[in-house]
Amino acid sequence: MLTESKLVADQAVICDTVDAGDYYIKIIKAGQTVRLLDLEGNQAADTLFYSAEDPTERYSASDTIREQGNVYLTTGSVLRSNQNTPMLKIVADTCGRHDTLGGACATESNTVRYDLEKRCMHACRDSWMLAIAEHPEFGLDKRDIAHNINFFMNVPITQEGGLTFEDGISAPGKYVEFEALMDVVILISNCPQLNNPCNGYNPTPIDVLVWDQQA
């Protein structure tokens, strides 16, 4: 569902650029709104969320899909935790579809899906592992790297129930916005994948904007 935001970029309290292939980790307070902005289009942002108080509570694709009765994420989707608690809600979306079934790229999956020689290529799970190694203050470790959301990624389901990685439907300047319903840690891998069309074979930067709770 396409919905534009009323928030003005000038009033954001945070505006960070995440380079292609880089990670981003930050605490988002309850009531704050986050916008992920696809600067050049066709870029996947592989994202995990954790309760800032207790990182064993984290985003759960299965709870989210079951409660909304739909496998795609867009405006109105409530992102739920593994305790079925609403963590965030998507409040604006000019892309219209985000995936939470395809999972993140890993060196292991690259070898299975593409070629043994792809093992040395940079992958999202490496970026997440680097993030939690460089930021022990968030209390995350390898077991916390679980199922994720692929913002801007297009993984339509075939009539037979299969998953296909398709060319993105995002474009330069498209964005998705979500409001935090609890204090959360956001962990993004700005996907470096070069073997499927999720980044248009050309990973590009994204912006992360944050607004304080609106009056």
Q: Which tokens sit at 30? A: 């309850």
Nearest distance from residue 199's CB to Zn ion, in Å? 8
Tell me whether residue 8 or residue 120 sits nearer to Zn ion (CB atom): 120
Position 111, amino acid? T
Which residues within the stretch 120-159 sit at the binding site for Zn ion (CB under 5 A)? 124
Nearest distance from residue 45's CB to Zn ion, in Å? 9
Tell me whether residue 37 or residue 188 sits nearer to Zn ion (CB atom): 188
State the Cα–Cα distance between residues 182 and 49, nearest whole angstrom.
11
Residue among 184, 205, 180, 214 at smallest CA distance from 12? 214
Applying CB under 5 A, among 191, 206, 208, 209 the residue interacting with Zn ion is 191
Length of the chain as a residue count: 215
Tell me whether residue 51 or residue 193 sits nearer to Zn ion (CB atom): 193
Q: Which tokens sit at 112? A: 């299975």
Nearest distance from residue 93's CB to Zn ion, in Å? 21
Nearest distance from residue 105's CB to Zn ion, in Å? 3
Tell me whether residue 88 or residue 104 sits nearer to Zn ion (CB atom): 104
Residue in this structure with the two tokens 């696809």, named with its chain if needed? 38
Q: Which tokens sit at 45? A: 């942002």
- Applying CB under 5 A, the span of 49-57, 118-126, 138-146, 206-214 interacting with Zn ion comes to 118-126
State the Cα–Cα distance between residues 103 and 62, nearest whole angstrom.
12
Which residues within the stretch 48-107 sit at the binding site for Zn ion (CB under 5 A)? 105
Nearest distance from residue 149's CB to Zn ion, in Å? 12
Q: Which tokens sit at 111? A: 């070898």
110's enclosing H/E stretch is: helix 107-113
Half-sphere CA count of 28, side-chain side, radius 13 A:
30
Q: Which tokens sit at 87? A: 């963590």
- Applying CB under 5 A, the span of 18-26, 60-68, 78-86, 188-196 interacting with Zn ion comes to 188-196
Applying CB under 5 A, among 81, 110, 148, 193 the residue interacting with Zn ion is 193
Question: Would you tell me which residues interact with Zn ion (CB under 5 A)?
Answer: 105, 124, 191, 193
